[in-house]
Amino acid sequence: MEEVVGPLLAAIDEQDRLVAAVTAPPAGGRAAALDRIEAELDGPVARVQAGPGVVPELPEEGIVIVEDCQLLYERRIDGFEGLEQLRSAIMDSEATIVLGWDRYAWQYIAQVREIARLIDHVAGIPELSAAQMGQLLEERDVVEGIELIDDRDRSAKIVDIEWRRVGHGERQIGVPVPRVDIAALRGDMAEEAAEDAVVRRLTEAAGGLPGVAWQLWQAALHDGAVRYGDISATEVDDIDAVTAWLLYIVLTNEQVSMDQLDRMVTDQDIEGLLYRLRQDEIVRSEDGTVRLRVQAIPAVIDALDRRRLLW
Amino acid sequence: MVESVIQEAGFKIGWGVWARSGLAIVLAYLIARGLSHGLNRVSQRAVEHRIAIKMLIPVFKACIYGGTIYYVLSSVLQISSSQLLAFSGLFGAALGLGIKDLFANVVGGLVMILERPYRVGDKIQLGDHYGEVLDIGIRTTTLVTPNDSEVSVPNYLLFTESMSNANAGSPEMLVVTEVAVDVDADIGRAKEIMEQALATSQYFYASDDHQPWVNVDDGPRYTTITGKAYVNDHRNEQQFRSDITERVLDRFEEAGIERPTFPE
């Protein structure tokens, strides 16, 4: 995070007035980065929250952090009013403004709305590597007193043969398809320590997102130990176009009400889609607000990326 | 007559030779089909690399069938240079007698492999036919039309007809959507609605090099609002156009933007 926050702080320090965007995927450390920026800046820093239909007032001078700017628009015709009001407020203010954005919402907005032209500096928080994840766990004393156990089956075959049916209708034949077990190959090739293997597994399952890693860690923690085999991420199977679109909206807005979903996913059985996604432990609904389950975020990102909904 | 020419040229073709040749061809066919099926399945899972993966299919097919032909001719038939000469004579005669169209198609197929004016997965217009390239064969190119029909287009059309390629190997492609409004309509608002309809579609794609834009064309009876934007996957071309048109027309009605009327 230092390599992202450091240059932003330096830019704020150097210039009289700056408009910046801090972007990260959901559970990707954006809140922590904004906390860090607030703590490191000299002088009073105002911190305001954007919301659906709630455009925060910006001070005329000083420094202000605006959180969750992705809540200010809906991806539909005439759904950008809140964002336009924020744009006007930015142009009317002389304050240094730091906007917190969901990464994928920002990538979209940067291509289609003029607010992107007002931004002087974009600080994109990257996913963590396994080494960075291990360092983070140590810094937060998470691993203190916890045993990390690599319980992988070393006897697993690296290459196995699977017979698959190929053909149309009744004209099918069995074809031998070699299957390589990447985990077994990696375990066989690399003599990594149990601690390294568990942290690597945690990082891979979390897609490098610290918030997801924390959830997976807690789910895998049993009797003072975290086992490699207990770290598992939610999987998202092949999804249809409507489900992908609904998940895209929930991912980019990070939290969305049923009314908003009705406006953006038109002419569809939203209740039915959400029921299926809740059953598959991909989304959760509370008080009429739909969010992704944290453990499902990497798989949803992957699925939407494959469908080219994320750029 | 042909049999006597073959015998004179020194061919000795017994049942064993036919059986081995047949087996090699059947095996090649099964391997090519299996590989094609497997790569198609893999390509469906990754839109970003779909076309790159699909491009491998004709390459693998060419290798498999080329290898099989080589095996049949060199190993099974054991053709010598004099036999090859005799075969060439027969081939020339056959070409003159009636397979020149087939030969033109084969040459078209070879040109396609070398010049690659289009690839598997591209959306092309070849002659009167428009669709996604499903397969490039040595004789024909198979297209899937927007109505989900498979059309086999002879490869020689590449020499005689114009050809346009909408995406040239990329998953995204430009889609043009036109809507007509009355000459007295609020053009500014109509343009704004079209812009937002493009940018908010679930099939929309944009990057620094792929930006949407809207044209306004004035006519004596109506004004045409033309939206141009990239679809994220060219397989969604029809859905993209339909989604934009439907939402634009809905919003025009809500905004009181009148559509042109024509005298009966």
For A90-116, give the DSSP string: HHH--SEEEEEEEHHHHHHHHHH-GGG
For residue B148, the model assigns a pLDDT of: 87
Structure confidence by residue, pLDDT tens digits, A287-311: 889 999 999 999 999 999 999 999 8
- B5 vs A38, higher pLDDT: A38
Indicate the average pLDDT of chain A: 90
Shortest distance, CA A253 to any CA of chain B (angstroms): 14
Chain B CB contacts of A167 under 8 Å are: 33, 37
**Interface touch B202/A248, C-beta < 8 Å:** yes
Given A77, A166, A175, which is nearest B196 (Cβ)?
A77
* DSSP β-bridge partners for residue A177: A162
Nearest CB to A309; choose among B172, B211, B232:
B232
Interface residue ranges in chain B relative to chain A, Cβ cutoff 8 Å:
30, 33-34, 37-38, 45-48, 171-172, 193, 196-197, 199-200, 202, 205-208, 211-212, 232-233, 236, 239, 247, 251
Give the mean model confidence (pLDDT) for residues B99-106: 68
Of A186-200, A224-238, B12-26, B98-112, where does mean pLDDT reach its minimum?
B98-112
- pLDDT (0 to 100) of residue B228: 96
**Smallest CA–CA distance from B45 into chain A, residue:** A306
- Secondary element (H or E) of residue A173: strand A171-180
* B196 residue type, one letter: Q
> Could B45 and A238 be called an inter-chain contact, meaning their C-beta atoms sit closer than 8 Å?
yes
| A241 to B202: CB separation less than 8 angstroms, yes or no | yes
Residue B5 has pLDDT above 60, yes or no: no
Among A219, A189, A191, CA closest to A205: A219
For the segment B74-95, the average pLDDT, to the nearest whole number, is 69
Among the residue ranges A16-25, A209-218, B36-45, the one predicted with the least confidence is B36-45
- B70 vs B201, higher pLDDT: B201
Share of chain A above pLDDT 70, in %: 93
Q: How far is B230 from chain A (nearest CA, A)?
A: 12
Q: What local confidence, expressed as pLDDT, does residue B146 receive?
A: 86
Minimal-distance CA residue of chain A relative to B37: A166
User: Using 50, 70 and 90 to split pLDDT, how confident is the model at A85?
Assistant: very high
Interface test with B, best of A112, A117, A165, A263 (most B CBs within 10 A): A112
Cβ contact (<8 Å) for A75 and B200? yes
Taking CA atoms, what residue in B is nearest to A73?
A: B200
pLDDT-based confidence at residue B239 (cuts at 50, 70, 90): very high
Please say whether the beta carbons of B47 and A307 come within 8 A.
Answer: yes
Q: Do B193 and A77 touch (CB under 8 A)?
A: yes
**0.80 exceeded by pTM:** no
8 Å CB contact of A173 and B202: no
CA distances from B219 to B188, B213, B256, B264 (A): 16, 20, 20, 19
pLDDT at B9: 52
Average pLDDT over residues A44-69: 92
Q: Which residues from chain B sit within 8 angstroms of residue A309, using beta carbons?
A: 202, 232
Which of chain A's residues have a Cβ under 8 Å away from the Cβ of B30?
Answer: 173
Q: Are A43 and A62 in contact (CB under 8 A)?
A: yes
What the block records as the tokens of A302 is: 């992957």
Nearest CA in chain A to B193: A77
Contact residues, chain A, for B212 at CB < 8 Å? 112
Tell me how far apart the alpha carbons of residues B169 and B186 are, in angstroms, rounded to a whole number: 39
- Give the span between the Cα atoms of A237 and B118, in whole angstroms: 32
Give how far the C-alpha of residue A311 lies from the chain's centroid of Cα atoms, to the nearest Å.
14
Residue B74, CA distances (Å) to B3, B82, B84 in order: 20, 13, 10
Q: Chain A interface residues facing chain B, Cβ-Cβ under 8 Å?
A: 75-80, 108, 111-112, 166-167, 173, 175, 177, 238, 241, 244-245, 248, 305-309, 311
SS3 for B206? coil
Asked if the model's pLDDT at residue A42 lies above 60, the reply is yes
